[in-house]
Amino acid sequence: MLRQLATEQGYGTYGNEIKYGVSVYKLIYATTYQGREIHASGLVCVPQQMATPAPVISAQHGTIFAHQDAPSNFQDMSGFELFASAGYIMLIPDYIGFGASENILHPYYDQKHSALAVVDMIKAAEAVYKKYEVLASDKLFLVGYSEGGYVTLAAQKEIETNPAHGLKVTAAAAGAGGYDLTEMLGNIKSGQPYSYPAYLAYVLQAYNTTNNWQRPLSDFFREPYATKLPGLFDGSKGGSAINQELTTDPRQLFSEQFYADLQHAQKELTLKQALQANSFHNWVPQSPTRLYHGTTDNIVPFSNSRQTYEMFLDKGAGQLEFIPIEGKGHGSAFEPMLQSVVPWIQQF
């Protein structure tokens, strides 16, 4: 059954890795949003009848917009579930803003909220292991792609810099995340067309809400977009539907004043400082880490991962690799990354 499902979903190359049946649980757990406790959710996928303790992989999915696409709704396979059939306990967090917390606007590319949604799920999952008598080893891997690549590094940073969590990362693999948000902003300021404007609208609305700036959307966006956006981001639409309602020209998407202020070094400082604070400038991975990126990615520039890798090296990162995926874009680099990650994780 799992082999058939893998083939139908485009993951047929993993058929030989499928060794176990899988039990899937929805976990609702406590985490923190804006300083208060909330409930979040995610999937726990457990290999059945495995005689030895299973390593744990927390797998962070890419950007989603529609509430129905939360992993715990199990509408489609992300590809990560298949790791469970190969003998790994898979944790797939929905993130804040989806599943049990869908009443909150997802704190998109917010480092602290991203990290805690993952770390708190890793800790809460131990109750599932105990209840269902699942043997879990002390090996913990973090894997993610696109926004999930960013969330992976956020969780790794939280674990490595906060011993109070009592966790240790065995290894982490992050693909095509926007790790340097100030560089991303620089690309937008250039005025070049951006093929996925839903991402730009997502970041600004999320920062406005998560940081409680309470600015009217007309501060950031031209009409008719400012008025449209709350309805586009109400959780009923996917990214393609949102893109159809926006423009790929940043100069037409953003308000004239806002776009002009982005160019000015001393204006829109609150936003620019928030982007800086949510980038990874003041940390170096301590655990074995791989960064992956497709060389033709026009959504998150290849240079973002390359420069982040070089920055980590300059700051003394030891067990760090950068793996370009030649000729692949943002959508097409995910499967080659998984094909590379599987044997790498098995080395540990």
pLDDT per residue of the chain (348 residues) written in tens, 0 to 9 = 444 444 444 445 555 667 898 999 999 999 999 999 999 999 999 999 898 999 999 999 999 999 999 999 977 666 677 788 889 999 999 999 999 999 999 999 999 999 999 999 999 999 999 999 999 999 999 999 999 999 999 999 999 999 999 999 999 999 999 999 988 877 788 888 999 999 999 999 999 999 999 999 999 999 999 999 999 999 999 999 999 999 999 999 999 999 999 999 899 999 999 999 999 999 999 999 999 999 999 999 999 999 999 999 999 998 999 999 999 999 999 999 999 998 999 999
CATH 1.10.260.160 domain locations along the chain: 193-277
**Strand 136-145's sheet: what is its strand order?**
22-33, 36-47, 89-93, 54-60, 136-145, 171-175, 289-294, 320-325
What would the 3-class secondary structure string for the chain be?
CHHHHHHHCCCHHHHHHCCCCEEEEEEEEEEEECCEEEEEEEEEEEECCCCCCEEEEEEECCCCCCHHHCHHHCCCCCCCCHHHHCCCEEEEECCCCCHHHCCCCCCCCCHHHHHHHHHHHHHHHHHHHHHCCCCEEEEEEEEEECHHHHHHHHHHHHHHHCHHHCCCCCEEEEECCCCCHHHHHHHHHCCCCCCCHHHHHHHHHHHHHHCCCCCCHHHCECCCHHHHHHHHCCCCCCHHHHHHCCCCCHHHHECHHHHHHHHCCCCCHHHHHHHHHCCCCCCCCCCCEEEEEECCCCCCCHHHHHHHHHHHHHCCCCCEEEEEECCCCCCCCHHHHHHHHHHHHHCC
Residue intervals of the chain classified under CATH 3.40.50.1820 are: 2-180+282-346
In one-letter notation, the amino acid at residue 49 is: Q
Could you tell me the pTM of the whole model?
A: 0.94
Phi, psi of 2 (to 5 degrees): -65, -40
Question: 193-277 — its CATH code?
Answer: 1.10.260.160
Residue 77: the pLDDT is 61
Tokens at 165, concatenated: 């969590």
In this structure, what token pair is assigned to residue 108?
A: 């998109």
Give Cβ neighbours of residue 240 (< 8 Å, ≥ 6 apart): none
CA distances from 126 to 48, 136, 201, 275 (A): 16, 9, 37, 34
Q: Which residue has the tokens 């602290």?
A: 112
| Cβ 142 vs Cβ 167: under 8 Å | no
Conformational region of residue 191, where left means phi above 0, alpha means psi within -120 to 50, and beta covers everything else = left
CA distances from 113 to 40, 130, 134, 178, 241 (A): 11, 27, 28, 16, 26
State how far the Cα of 59 lies from the Cα of 83, in Å rounded to an integer. 10
Considering Cα of 180, then 282, then 291, then 112, what sign does the dihedral take? Answer: negative
Give the architecture (CATH level 2) of 2-180+282-346.
3-Layer(aba) Sandwich (3.40)
Q: What does the pLDDT look like over 167-216, one tens digit per residue? A: 999 999 999 999 999 888 777 888 889 999 999 999 999 999 999 999 99
